[in-house]
Structures are given as structure tokens and as C-alpha cells.
Amino acid sequence: MNRKYRKTVIAGNWKMNMTASEIKPFIEQLKENMPKTRACDVVLCTPAVMIPAMIKAGKEVKVAAGGQDVSKYEKGAYTGEVSATQLADIGTKYCIVGHSERRQYHHEDDMLVNAKARALLEKGIAPIICVGESLEQREAGVTMEYVAYQVKAALNGIDATQLRRCIIAYEPIWAIGTGKTATAEQAQEVCEGIRAVIRKIYGARPARAVSILYGGSMNAKNAAELLAQPDIDGGLIGGASLKPVDFATIIAASNQ
């Protein structure tokens, strides 16, 4: 982490877990275990129906509410979709786009991820843009080429001013929900490479201001080592964010 130039962000992704009624007890337990001081922004990304409850409960511990997906459309006949306007209207501050599960199960491509990120930016919501390679791509030695393409596509048409509100989350697909984790060195190598791609597009100053998170099974045991890397500015946390004690431990690890 390099707090001189950018903020640290610890973002939990609850995926399709928990209910609105479970949020308050979760936040109470999180508060009991939260470090007295913290050097990061904390976000919990929930299903859209739970965002208002998260906003209300999260005020006690300064936890921001985030969404997990958004439509590229502002409004219209798109049954089941949620727009950036609707997310902003209820107070959503962050939203994940391009998560590997959306790419895999809903066949979302890079151009759609870009459209969603731009829709969020237009409404003042910070997009957490996910990129990452499969095991096959890593074994073939094309990790950086593939991730670089994803980053370039996701940021297409986004200017330097808008870039300041963007967060990139590197999530190696082979390390999500598998219990496998990239080594700190592997994660740092790719995050450093992502920053180099951004630097080539926007220049050195904008690139060093972008927060890059690691999102491949970061947990209470490995968080400190991962967060010690110079280009890893936080984490996009899956399973561990459902456990208040573990999530608090990860938040505490960001104080180093």
C-alpha cells in the first residue's frame, strides 16, 4: 500500500448470502471487533434489496454500502435489472462490475463491463472493476496480456477525472472460492502490471492515485502479507466478509 498517493479500501462482497434482518447483528459484532483506529475505507457490497438496511446499520461503524451489479441502461423495459440512477437514489457509494461470476454465468464481456462502469460514474458511484485470468491462461503464460486487455477495455472512454473514482480489483479466477490464493509476490506482480497499463494510458500521476485491490480469497490469515505489497491497496473479500471477526481482522491488517 502507498497511502501517500491513494486510499486503502477493504470491500466485502456478500454475493447471494445473508438477509436484511441479519445485517444489524453482523454490524454489531463487527463493531465489537473493529480496531480502534483504521487506515482504510470499508465497504460491504450486498444484494440490491439489502442496500438500504446496510446504509442504516453501517452508519454506526462508518461502513459504506455497495452494490454487486448494475444495468448499463438508465431506465426502461429491463425486468429484473437495477440502474445506476436507482442505486444512487438510495445512497449507494460503490458498485462491483465485471465480477468473474457475472462474466462466467451471465456471459458479460469487456464492453458491457465498460458500459456499466461508465453508467455508475455518471451517477457519482465508484465502480469496483474486476479483472483476472483463468488457471489455463496463467499456465499458458498470458496472464498479463489478458489482464491488460481487460483493464484497457474497462477504462475505454473514461477520462482522467473519472479515473480518480475508479477502483480496480484483481481477482485471479482460479483463486476465487477455491481456497487457493496467489502468493503475495504473484498478486503484487499483476497489480504492479495493472498500474503500468494505467500509467501508459493516463500518465504517472493518475496511475499512482488508483486504488488496486486483490480479490482472490484474501482472508484473516493472509491479509497482512498481501496488504504489505506496494501495489495492493486493499481487498475485495468474499467468504471472509461474511464473518465479522475475520472481516475485522482484515480491516486491522490494513493499518500496517
Three-class SS of the chain: CCCCCCCCEEEEECCCCCCHHHHHHHHHHHHHHCCCCCCCEEEEECCHHHHHHHHHHHHHHCEEEEECCCCCCCCCCCCCCCCHHHHHHCCCCEEEECCHHHHHHCCCCHHHHHHHHHHHHHCCCEEEEEECCCHHHHHCCCHHHHHHHHHHHHCCCCCHHHHCCCEEEECCHHHCCCCCCCCHHHHHHHHHHHHHHHHHHHCHHHHHCCEEEECCCCCCCCHHHHHCCCCCCEEEECHHHHCHHHHHHHHHHCCC
Is 107 tagged catalytic?
A: no
Are 215 and 234 within 8 A, CB to CB? no
Is 106 tagged catalytic?
A: no
Cα–Cα dist 17/15, whole Å: 6
Cα–Cα dist 135/208, whole Å: 28
Among candidate residues 101, 171, 189, 225, the one labeled active-site is 171
Among candidate residues 32, 99, 106, 108, the one labeled active-site is 99
Q: Cell match 498517493: residue?
A: 5
Residue 82 neighbours by CB distance under 10 Å: 20
User: Could you give the residue numbers annotated as active site?
Assistant: 99, 171
